[in-house]
Homo-oligomer: A and B are copies of this chain.
Amino acid sequence: MNVILASTSTLFGGNYLEYLKDELFTLFSGIDEIIFIPFARPGGISHEEYTSKAKDFFAKLNINVKGLHEFADPIEAVNAAKGFFAGGGNTFLLVKTLHELGLMGILSENIKKGKPYLGCSAGSNIGGLNMKTTNDMPIVYPASFECMGLVPFNLNPHYLDPTPELKHNGETRETRIMEFLIQNKTKVIGLREGNWIRILNNKITTEGSEYTRIFEAGKAPYECPPGSSLL
């Protein structure tokens, strides 16, 4: 496989996908067109608006972008595509739409055959086994929480360390993930902004500027430096 699952599309103070530009040259090397999956719709924007944002960025890499919503037969479109990018937004909305259109398995098969895939945030969540460690609000009810399983674990994108000065009683991200591990035995990768998971052939590594926090049932959470294998 040839995959990037990024914590976020945009770093604080940066431009859309800018910090990943060199990586995306490599990921999509030799490819002149990809399909964008706009279904997570951040901020509720239209599929068209969201696709044109992706299109603007990928023009700099001489890659054309078509929105998956533009095709009358999205399954055929996924099977005919050369590569994919699933943007961030609301994971519940993304997963619901992919299940409704019968695309979750088809997309997974195409990526497992070697077609390059970029996911950001919600688009990265769907690379995991299921979406049970998303941060998103359950604004719609998906037919299932199951995802593509490109990696043998779950992701928590935008992983956030506790803010001790916050006088607030809501759960920290770590507490939430530890509660997940009481109910599930699946490993969780806490992916800080600036980091991504790279799948290349049979290797899965954590990359980027930050350490990655890993949560496993029955163990204390631990940190891995960039370049560490996640298998």
A131 within 8 A of B: yes
Q: Would A170 and B160 count as touching, CB distance under 8 A?
A: yes
Copies of this chain, complex-wide, total 2
Beta-carbon nearest neighbor of A7 in chain B? B169
Interface 1/0s, chain A 146-183, versus B by CB < 8 A?
00000000000010100100111111000111111111
Stretch at the interface among A27-35, A99-107, A134-142, A198-206: A134-142
From the candidates B8, B138, B182, name the one contacting A138 in the complex (CB within 8 A): B138
Q: Would B44 and A179 count as touching, CB distance under 8 A?
A: yes
Q: Would B176 and A43 count as touching, CB distance under 8 A?
A: no
From the candidates B10, B139, B158, name the one contacting A184 in the complex (CB within 8 A): B139
Instruction: Show the binding face of A for B, using Cβ within 8 Å.
Output: 8-13, 41-44, 89-90, 92-93, 131-141, 144-145, 158, 160, 163, 166-171, 175-184, 193
